[in-house]
């Protein structure tokens, strides 16, 4: 029996079409639930046909009941059910081994590509990052996340110990753009620390995490460890509202507008990743031997996954020393992208009308111009509810950046779009003030080998994951380094033990005071 047949319930190659649509189920109280009511607004992003049946859950009573059953002390903690640390490490070991199976690896990258069309390299990258994450937390490594520390007391018999303590019932709302990597790392991190998550992944892509969850359960994860719901945003909002007195934390990845609504509903009990307008600044130290690499990395950062990355390069500052060399290279690299290899493809959040309206708004700015793109793809069958735009770059004059146009210029476009600003040495104060005013502080890049220029920019900015040097990028897998925004106390991180600990546990201090009792002790007088 193949590893695939042990946990999979669909075939992304022969199935997932109008004749044999894939079916997604909910998981609640340890049981997979078949729905009779499905979403009707999730077409195949490449041809518009029915290819998935995803539950349109409206009755949330079972999920509320399950949420209420989890204690604040979690499924485990350093003083309770400690064997679960080793159990989860074993689940990671088994799952990572199965993900090394080439059949399983191909199953997941092709499944990702069916629901979130992007290149094989991008899809496979998700699978590899997820596998390496599992490997990193195999064996004893989950238990090590719960390490405590002790301090001697003021006298013999007293000792103070600090513990990492779970929140208990939590919720995770994951986005569409990385349908395996993001929810996998978020959910496993929550489980490692002893929490019990209620998970919602964007319905357009939730089938990927559902299949991964089936893999984890096959590898020994108790199916009662979490609930998995497929529903519309308003239903999830109602679930959070009804469960707000029990929910200890919500981790949300998505738009700033929704994040703020959840923050109000939960009275601030939220960890968010809503930052996505990311900048790159190419410094003054032009070097012709670097031009091809810098141009290629700029193209990758802006247009991979059709720009549908929260770490995508949205604002590119180019020092005038690079302008005449870099702009033509960017244009030629953008023109290489084709629908047939999915180096450019459907955009699942913005349709073409929204793109064109935004482009036209920016082109009304004095001196603005379209460097390339700004047009719809040709010869495609992408449904109109999705976007189908060519890679686009608009040039905005540096003297028009601040002031009344700033909000439009820095509006996050989750697609193949970037703003380019050319600056000179005397414009650096304007550039730095622009970076100060940007509120979405996720990733950034300082493309320069000039350490003094690096220092000037880095010392004045707050982005969470920031790359520097001529090879600097804005995007990259959150593996072996922290990935998350900065500048917001509600920020959530993934990728490292430190990110998991800070996101998914709190500090609990336990002071032991056992004696001995001084033989001469008596009840003291009232002072």
Q: Which of 238, 215, 275 is nearest to 57 (CA)?
A: 238
| Structure token pair of residue 247 | 């929910």
Q: Using the Cα atoms of residue 495, residue 499, residue 504 and residue 505 in order, give the sign of their dihedral.
A: positive
Output the six-digit token pair for 483.
Answer: 């990935």
Q: Are 310 and 351 in contact (CB under 8 A)?
A: no
* Structure token pair of residue 317: 């500052």
- Going by C-alpha positions, the residue among 513, 515, 512 that lies closest to residue 163 is 512
SS3 228: strand
- Tell me phi and psi for residue 283, to 5 degrees: -75, 180
Q: What angle do CA 80, 181, 222 make, to 5 degrees?
A: 35
3-state secondary structure of 301: helix
Catalytic residue, chosen from 70, 123, 219, 310, is: 310
**The two three-digit tokens of residue 355, written as one number:** 């793109």
Spatial neighbors of 153 by CB under 8 A, at least 6 apart, are 159, 160, 511, 512, 513
The enclosing H or E element of 372 equals strand 369-372
Task: Choose among 308, 256, 355, 344: nearest CA to 126.
Answer: 308
Q: Angle at Cα 33 formed by Cα 187 and Cα 111, nearest 5°? A: 55
**Distance separating alpha carbons of residues 185 and 188, to the nearest angstrom:** 5
Cα(290)–Cα(270) distance, rounded to whole angstroms? 42
Q: Single out the catalytic residue among 92, 219, 273, 298.
A: 273
Asked if 310 is an active-site residue, the reply is yes
- Catalytic residue numbers read 273, 310
């Amino acid at each position: 029996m193949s590893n695939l047949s042990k946990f999979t319930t669909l075939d992304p190659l022969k199935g997932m079409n109008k004749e044999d649509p894939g079916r997604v189920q909910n998981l609640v109280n340890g049981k997979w639930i078949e729905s009779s009511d499905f979403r009707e607004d999730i077409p195949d992003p490449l041809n518009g046909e029915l290819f998935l049946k995803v539950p349109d859950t409206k009755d949330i009573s079972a999920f509320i009941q399950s949420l209420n059953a989890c204690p604040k002390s979690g499924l485990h903690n350093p003083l309770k059910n400690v064997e679960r640390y080793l159990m989860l490490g074993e689940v990671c070991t088994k799952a990572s081994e199965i993900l090394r199976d080439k059949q399983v690896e191909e199953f997941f990258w092709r499944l990702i590509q069916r629901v979130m069309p992007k290149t094989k390299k991008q899809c496979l990258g998700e699978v590899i990052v997820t596998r390496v994450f599992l490997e990193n937390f195999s064996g004893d490594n989950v238990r090590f996340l719960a390490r405590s520390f002790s301090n001697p007391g003021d006298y013999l018999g007293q000792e103070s110990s600090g513990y990492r303590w779970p929140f208990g019932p939590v919720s995770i709302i994951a986005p569409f753009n990385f349908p395996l990597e993001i929810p996998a790392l978020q959910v496993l991190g929550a489980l490692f620390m002893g929490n019990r998550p209620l998970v919602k992944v964007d319905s357009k892509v939730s089938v990927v995490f559902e299949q991964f969850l089936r893999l984890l359960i096959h590898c020994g994860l108790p199916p009662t460890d979490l609930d998995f719901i497929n529903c519309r945003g308003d239903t999830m909002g109602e679930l959070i509202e009804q469960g707000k007195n029990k929910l200890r934390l919500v981790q949300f990845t998505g738009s700033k507008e929704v994040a703020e609504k959840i923050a109000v509903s939960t009275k601030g009990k939220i960890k968010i990743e809503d930052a996505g307008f990311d900048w790159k600044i190419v410094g003054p130290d032009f070097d012709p031997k670097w031009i091809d690499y810098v141009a290629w990395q700029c193209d990758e950062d802006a247009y991979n996954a059709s720009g549908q990355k929260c770490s995508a390069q949205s604002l590119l500052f180019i020092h005038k020393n690079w302008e005449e060399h870099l702009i033509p290279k960017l244009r030629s690299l953008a023109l290489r992208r084709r629908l047939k290899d999915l180096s450019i493809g459907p955009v699942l959040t913005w349709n073409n009308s929204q793109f064109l309206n935004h482009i036209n708004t920016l082109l009304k700015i004095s001196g603005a111009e379209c460097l390339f793109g700004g047009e719809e793809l040709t010869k495609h069958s992408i449904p109109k509810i999705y976007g189908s735009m060519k890679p686009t770059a608009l040039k905005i004059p540096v003297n028009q950046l601040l002031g009344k146009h700033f909000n439009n210029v820095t509006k996050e476009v989750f697609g193949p779009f970037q703003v380019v600003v050319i600056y000179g040495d005397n414009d650096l104060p304007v550039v730095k003030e622009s970076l100060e005013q940007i509120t979405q502080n996720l990733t950034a890049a300082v493309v320069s080998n000039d350490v003094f220029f690096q220092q000037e920019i880095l010392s004045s900015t707050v982005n969470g994951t920031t790359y520097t040097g001529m090879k600097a990028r804005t995007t990259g897998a959150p593996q072996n380094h922290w990935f998350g925004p900065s500048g917001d106390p509600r920020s959530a991180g993934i990728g490292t033990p430190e990110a998991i600990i800070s996101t998914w546990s709190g500090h609990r201090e336990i002071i032991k005071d056992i004696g001995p009792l001084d033989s001469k002790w008596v009840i003291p007088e009232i002072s």
